[in-house]
Structure 1
Amino acid sequence: MQNHTEHIQICFDCAAACEHCATACLQEEHVMMMRDCIRLCRDCADFCKLCASLTARHSDYMMDFMVLCAEVCDACAEECSKHDHDHCRACAEACRRCADDCRKLSANA
């Protein structure tokens, strides 16, 4: 059984960045302009936490879920990249890293 400790940490780091971004977006002056960002960040955080959990327990579905998690991370990174806030830029970076790692691991399955 392969140890995926680094991947699990990358997933949790992405989830934390997404949660922080969503919370910070709620404090922005034009919060309605941030609603897609908030929604995607919340979805992405949930996907990343589940991906980490499935990976930690070596679920039979973890590799398939990594493909889906990468898609959600890509969408979140794309949305966050549209905004010029530090929290959005940090979130987009964390999402790209998680998506890349998910793709790398699922391709090597």
Structure 2
Amino acid sequence: MNHLSNEMQACIDECLACYRTCLSMAMNHCLEAGGPHVEKAHFTLMAECAEICRTSAHFMLIGGAHHKRTCAVCAEICDACAADCERVGDMQDCVEACRRCAESCHRMAA
């Protein structure tokens, strides 16, 4: 993987960590907690966040020209997911993973 810059490799790592955290928290923590954790808007946003993180990592690994666009969308969705997870509460792991990923993706999209 020497063809990837350190910054891009770091962003891939943040995207995959966020994908793992969002999906795991949605499927385990949120389903078990119920209530606001499983409201459609929140649960859908978590699924969207996990998927765009996975997709952004995939685009960067491919090394094509379009990763800046997927990273821009990823940053936007991660920001929204972090805010919503903070609103719902008891989801600090997700909030932090989303914030780290958003920050890294904002840099890659620039």
TM-score for both structures, normalised by structure 1 = 0.87
More helix per residue: 1 or 2?
Answer: 2
- Give the percent of matched residue pairs that are identical in Structure 1 and Structure 2: 30
Q: Say what the alpha-carbon RMSD is for the aligned residues.
A: 1.3
Aligned residues of 1:8 and 1:55 also touching (Cα < 8 A)? yes
What's the counterpart of residue 72 of structure 1? 77
TM-score for both structures, normalised by structure 2 = 0.86
Secondary structure of the corresponding residue to residue 107 of structure 2: helix
> Which runs of 4 or more aligned residues in structure 1 lie more than 4 Å from their structure 2 counterparts after TM superposition?
none
Query: In structure 2, what is the Cα distance between the partners aligned to 1:37 and 1:21?
Result: 12
The equivalences for 1:13-92 within 5 A come to 13-23=17-27, 24-30=29-35, 33-34=36-37, 35=39, 36-85=41-90, 88-92=91-95
Query: In structure 2, what is the Cα distance between the partners aligned to 1:37 and 1:90?
Result: 16
What's the counterpart of residue 16 of structure 2? 12
Matched length: 103
Aligned amino acid, residue 104 of structure 2: D
- Unaligned runs of at least 5 residues, structure 1: none
Deviation at 1:64, TM superposition (A): 1.2
